[in-house]
Amino acid sequence: MRIGDRYELERPLGEGGMAGVFLARDTETDSQVAIKQMHAELGKHAELRARFLREGRIVARLDHPHIVAIHDVIPVEETGVAMVMAFVEGCDLSRIVKRNPPPVLCPELAARIVRPIAEALAYVHGEGVIHRDVKPANVLLGLDGAIKLTDFGIARGDDEQGLTKTGDFLGTPAYIPPEQARGLRVSAAADQYALGVMLYQLVTGEKPFAARSTAEVVLAILRNEYPDPRTRNPAIDDAFAAVINTAMAPEPDARFADVAAFIAALDACVPPCAAAQTAETVAALVADPEGAATAFARDIAERLCAEGEVALGVGDRPTAVARAHGALYRHPSNTRAAALLHDLGQDAPDPLLAAAAAGDAGADDDDTVFDPRGPQLPGGQTQVTPAGPAARDAMAAAALGVAETDPQVEPVGAAAAPAPSARPAQIPAQDPPPAPEPGPHDEATVLRPAGTPRGIAGWKVLAAVFVLTALIGGGVAWIVHSQPPTAPPTPTPEARP
């Protein structure tokens, strides 16, 4: 099948709510390209076509090594429009974080993946563009080591005000900041928040806001409830945790001033490496995620052991202990680190116990996008009325409606909403933001799981209770009716004077 005059479709690469992506061959250059084509049933909607064309216009004017380039925008009879993009042979980051079990990357490896995306976002923010849907599924990793940000379908440019305005609820629930969950107009700080969520997921193996349904995810975001990342991965030190928690601050003003400041804080924790080293690491991760992550962590552990031995040689025992512990947290069977601790007169910690898995990843909503203004999307997704300044319970009820109709947001075996965590660590140079004043968003009743055992639907529990009640009632009735009848007591004659 041909698209336009020069592109021959070969096979599908992926599919989203608005469009599908296909591998194609450019017959003029004999090279492979990726073609993003709107779903036929959506091509008739003028607003969605306008949004799709806007994505092409936005990305066509961006030129950055970590952004997927658009070569052409061509008309298509069936859907109206298609975009011809550079083809990245490899996988998207969601294919790595969704593995079973999900990998827990050491902070150094996670930083190598996130930093190029942060550089791309710093660039697009400088061009007046906000992505608004930063998530693992929109980060492409190439077999050649490339890291590319893609899918600007709901991005907003300063010159594109007509299709995005206050009240929009656009994005993927697990990665949106509180202001976006409320339907408020977002700034570049929203992309920074999503970066923090991605970094958290990479170093812990779990999303910070994991819950059974989209409604519970949104409410957890609004309440800023998520476990401290250090409790899920002991290799995370206070400074690295502070980078995550500051990027994920509930108020935009409490986050880093911009993504450039985020990069600077990340570099202070994990010094950047050469581009060639990053490409080599990413290529190995695409080819063998578990093996590459393990090998990378082993190399970092060896480096920490060497630093610890030097520290011990100059009498710096605290640094030597810290480096040995850090090595074991990254590579639990590292005998060199265990020997270093033995020389220091200390027992080795139990990294496996400290980093025990904390459960499932929750609702698999990486591809769920809410658009309250557009028509109904494929997959049963429904329109959601954003809360804005209204009470939060109305928003929660709407989100519950989506959760009931969208099979993507409530998979079997999803984890319950996380319990409130301790106060997140902050960057030492910054004062913690003041607690927000109670407002209309804090008046709604908190929705929590009903406590149903995992994997058992609520109706089954009710049926079981009904059956047990009937059995017990029947047993009692049988016991009562099986007893022989007894004569009524003989009245006692009244005493007479």
CA distance 411 to 417: 14
Dihedral angle computed from the Cα positions of residues 451, 455, 459 and 463, in that order, rounded to the nearest 10 degrees: -100
180 Cβ contact partners less than 8 Å away, ≥ 6 residues apart: 132, 169, 170, 171, 186, 190
- Asked whether 108 and 237 are in contact (CB, 8 A), the reply is no
Q: Which two tokens stand for residue 13?
A: 């690469």
Q: Which two tokens stand for residue 271?
A: 């010094």
Q: What is the 3-state secondary structure (H, E, C) of 431-478?
A: CCCCCCCCCHHHCCCCCCCCCCCCCCCHHHHHHHHHHHHHHHHHHHHH
Whether residue 133 lies in the annotated active site = yes
Which one is catalytic: 133, 168, 364, 366?
133
* R_g (Cα) of the chain, nearest Å: 28
DSSP 493: P
Helix (H) or strand (E) holding 14, with range, is strand 7-15
Q: Which two tokens stand for residue 320?
A: 């030597």
- What is the set of active-site residues? 133
